[in-house]
Structure 1
Amino acid sequence: MNPISPRILLVRGMLAGLLAGVAAFLVAYVLGESKVDAAIAIEEAAAAGHDHGEESAPVSRALQATAGLGTGTLLYGIALGGIAALVFCYALGRIGRFSPRATALLVSGGLFVTLNLVPFLKYPSNPPAVGDPDTVVRRTTLFILMIALSALLSAGALILGRRLAPRLGNWNASVIASLGFVAVVAIAYASLPGINEVPADFPAALIWQFRLTTLAVQAAMWTTFGLAFGFLAERSIAPAPAPQEAVQPVS
């Protein structure tokens, strides 16, 4: 295959991340904004009985749901696209004889599980009106800690699988490493404190719809990135054409 610098793949990864950010924005806007509006309405209704005076929001809700949401998801997609491209550079050829497209999809799926799914199952996202403002620092710290633990455990499982592969074969080594990852994550789930600050009168259906929507946003982002970056990477790392021998003219 043609040699290619990590910088070129980084640029392509950020471009794929931009496309992934667009997909995430569309899913968040279509599926998520109605859930956010419903949660805000519940919060405002609960605060209506308290006389705190009228406070105007510095940014309108319409601007938050369009320009604010779009800017956030696009920047988030570009940043994650660059990180994923660097992971792809390391993984290509080291996790098996996969094509660039297959490697991109594997990297994308692995990062989705590591950075989103595993932390989500322990500390799922909450809509507005859910959560004590006094514990926001604690909740944020625990969530970031869960992401860091998941990333470290994922890297450890990858190293374990590579070391076991020569003796046990790729399949058996992958199964053992995956089971070890799940076991240690389960221990982390049991060790870290839980958080349950959902008000008793908050609609259960709304909170789970919101949580599933946030997971769908991340799934849409990583799926789009895997497909787009796999296409761009494969075109960049295409096999070099064999040089043609010059044909001598017949005299």
Structure 2
Amino acid sequence: MVYSTAFGGLFALVFSYANGRMKSTDPRVVSVLLAITGIIAVYVVPSIKYPANPPSVGNPDTIGMRTELYFIMMLVSLLGMIAATMLQGRLRRQYNAWTSTYLAGACYILIVFTTGELLPAVNEVPSNFPADLLWNFRIDSLGMQIIMWATLGLGFGAFTEYANRNRFGYRNGANIQLNAH
């Protein structure tokens, strides 16, 4: 819960910055897009290079190094996602939305792929460790991340839209005109 609460706080800060700066004025759309890019940049990409392992798997002497490598991959992925988003905005001046998105996405993939190739591999799972247990642990880890990011993306956007509607009389980005008699 502490992990999810911390990410919720960070998500709220990023949402506050992004809301109004993105083309969509609907906070639900902004929230869902941030959640999708968040799970990709913060979890999926780093986990491809350094997947989650059950507790006590691996050499305890290398846990610091493994943690550093994971966070380096996460940081590069997150910064690469930010750079790709900024690049996409600049490319939209010259190309259509699809082309600029493809080019920015290709740059992001190039950044994270190159970083993944440059960082050392860590494979400390013993050969006699049960493969089904390892697989189930990694699937459960992914499932927990999907639940957290989906809850953030869908819930935060819905609550923000609801609060805006009740506070400012907005619905789906449009001001509701009230008839005064």
> Same fold per TM (> 0.5)?
yes
Q: How many Å apart are 1:171 and its aligned residue?
A: 2.2
**Superposition RMSD on alpha carbons, in Å?**
1.5
For each residue in 1:26-84, what CA deviation from the matched residue of structure 2 results, as whole angstroms up to 9, or x when unmatched?
Answer: xxxxxxxxxxxxxxxxxxxxxxxxxxxxxxxxxxxxxxxxxxxxxxxx22222111111
Specify the alignment match of 2:26 in structure 1. Answer: 99
Deviations 1:68-105 (CA, angstroms, capped at 9, x unpaired): xxxxxx22222111111121122223332252111111
Note the 1:96-245 alignment, pairs <5 A: 96-238=23-165, 239=170, 240-242=175-177, 244=179
Counterpart-to-counterpart distance in 2, 1:165 and 1:183: 20
Q: Give the unaligned 5+ runs of structure 2.
A: none
Q: Secondary structure at the match of 1:108?
A: helix
Aligned partners of 2:24 and 2:60: how far apart in 1? 49
Matches for 1:68-87 after TM superposition, within 5 Å: 74-87=1-14
Deviations 1:97-137 (A, max 9, x none): 25211111111111111111111111001113311011111
Q: Matched residues in 2 for 1:231 and 1:129: separation?
A: 40
How many residue pairs get aligned? The number is 173
Q: How does 1:40-55 map to 2 (within 5 A)?
A: none
1:177-236, CA deviations, whole angstroms, 9 ceiling, x for partnerless residues? 011101111111111000011111111121111111101100111111111111111112
Q: Provide the rounded CA distance (Å) in 1 between the counterparts of 2:91 and 2:143.
A: 34
**Relative to structure 1, is the Cα distance of residues 105 and 149 closer, same or farther in structure 2, using a 3 angstrom cutoff?**
same
SS of equivalent residue, structure 1 residue 167: coil
| Residue type of the alignment partner of 1:242 | Q
Larger Rg: 1
In structure 1, C-alpha distance between the alignment counterparts of 2:13 and 2:161, rounded to whole Å: 15
